[in-house]
């Protein structure tokens, strides 16, 4: 099983499941609970579009060979790393308002009795997660075999779905903030690995390595441990200087900004109003 595809599917799948759970719970509490079918219709349509896009992208890349293939994978790795970074920081900033925004859109659709409008709320939110997942999984298949990626994806989606059901059932003890912190940290580490992979694809064979531990079997891609380290942490047993710089040059600032929380400034003390005779004015 590909650990990278599992992590991606878990994170993206949970975000999609969370969105669907929020909208379904809102519709269930509304005056028109029967409109929940529109939510499921939009969700299934989004999954179909994302799956089709993933298949088309995979078949297109499968037909490439040589330099064209490596350059394309380099571009995909950079694009995936950039999108992952944007996604992590967007969710960190907007997660507090996500429920209110979704419920507002769903409420408007219900008020207008628009099944299509309600379906579009679910479709637009889920299809974004699905298309992101397709791009990330393509970047993960650069070195993993197809079967392990599929297995990792299915397991990740299954766990994400189970967590979505837990949220829908109203499990208030589930710490979503901690979940997004942990998975966000791992995603950033994974993105750093994508940056390193992109450099490796562009460089090709190189001798200017920082270190070389290919002689240690369990640290190479020939072992399960090596595959896990490469999948999650972007491990390379013989990275070039540029790979090393790219990896740490991305990882350290990204983690610092991710965990840095700006403390709000204390509210200024109220200045009492003073009347013309110099005595405090009554409020």
Tens digits of pLDDT across the chain (283 residues): 667 778 778 878 888 888 888 888 888 888 788 888 888 999 999 989 988 888 887 777 777 677 887 888 888 888 888 888 888 887 777 667 777 888 888 888 888 888 888 888 889 888 888 887 887 777 766 555 667 777 878 888 888 888 888 777 765 566 667 777 787 888 888 889 889 888 888 887 766 888 888 888 888 877 777 777 877 777 888 888 998 999 999 999 999 988 886 544 444 444 444 444 444 444 3
Closest CA to 125 of 149, 140, 109: 109
8 A C-beta contact, residue 237 and residue 216: yes
Determine the Cα–Cα distance for residues 229 and 249; give it in Å rounded to an integer: 19
Name the token pair of 81: 């790393």
Burial of 255 (0-12, 13-18, 19+ CB in 10 A): middle
**CA distances in angstroms from 80 to 85, 87, 135, 231, listed in the order given:** 8, 10, 6, 14
Residue owning tokens 């028109």: 32
Q: Strand pairing partners for 274?
A: 280
Determine the Cα–Cα distance for residues 169 and 164; give it in Å rounded to an integer: 9
State residue 277's pLDDT score: 43
8 A C-beta contact, residue 48 and residue 54: no
Helices (H) and strands (E) in the chain, counts: 8, 0
State residue 140's pLDDT score: 66
């Amino acid at each position: 099983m590909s650990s990278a595809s599992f992590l991606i599917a878990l994170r993206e799948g949970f975000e999609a499941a969370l969105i669907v759970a929020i909208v379904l719970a809102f519709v269930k509490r509304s005056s028109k609970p029967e409109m929940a079918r529109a939510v499921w219709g939009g969700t299934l349509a989004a999954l179909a579009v994302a799956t089709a896009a993933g298949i088309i992208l995979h078949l297109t890349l499968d037909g490439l060979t040589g330099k064209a293939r490596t350059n394309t994978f380099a571009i995909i790795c950079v694009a995936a790393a950039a999108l992952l970074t944007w996604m992590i920081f967007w969710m960190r900033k907007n997660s507090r308002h996500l429920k209110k925004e979704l419920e507002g859109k769903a409420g408007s659709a219900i008020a207008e009795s628009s099944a299509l409008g309600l379906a579009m709320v679910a479709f637009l939110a889920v299809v974004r997660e699905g298309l992101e997942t397709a791009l990330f999984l393509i970047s993960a298949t650069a070195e993993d075999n197809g079967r392990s990626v599929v297995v990792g994806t299915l397991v990740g989606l299954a766990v994400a779905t189970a967590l979505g059901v837990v949220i829908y059932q109203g499990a208030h003890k589930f710490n979503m903030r901690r979940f997004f912190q942990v998975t966000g940290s791992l995603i950033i580490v994974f993105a750093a690995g994508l940056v390193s992979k992109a450099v490796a694809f562009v460089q090709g064979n190189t001798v200017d390595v920082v270190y070389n531990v290919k002689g240690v079997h369990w640290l190479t891609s020939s072992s399960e441990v090596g595959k896990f380290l490469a999948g999650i942490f972007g491990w390379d047993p013989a990275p070039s200087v540029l790979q090393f710089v790219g990896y740490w040059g991305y990882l350290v600032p990204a983690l610092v900004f991710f965990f840095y929380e700006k403390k709000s400034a204390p509210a200024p003390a109220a200045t009492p109003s003073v009347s013309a005779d110099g005595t405090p004015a009554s409020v």
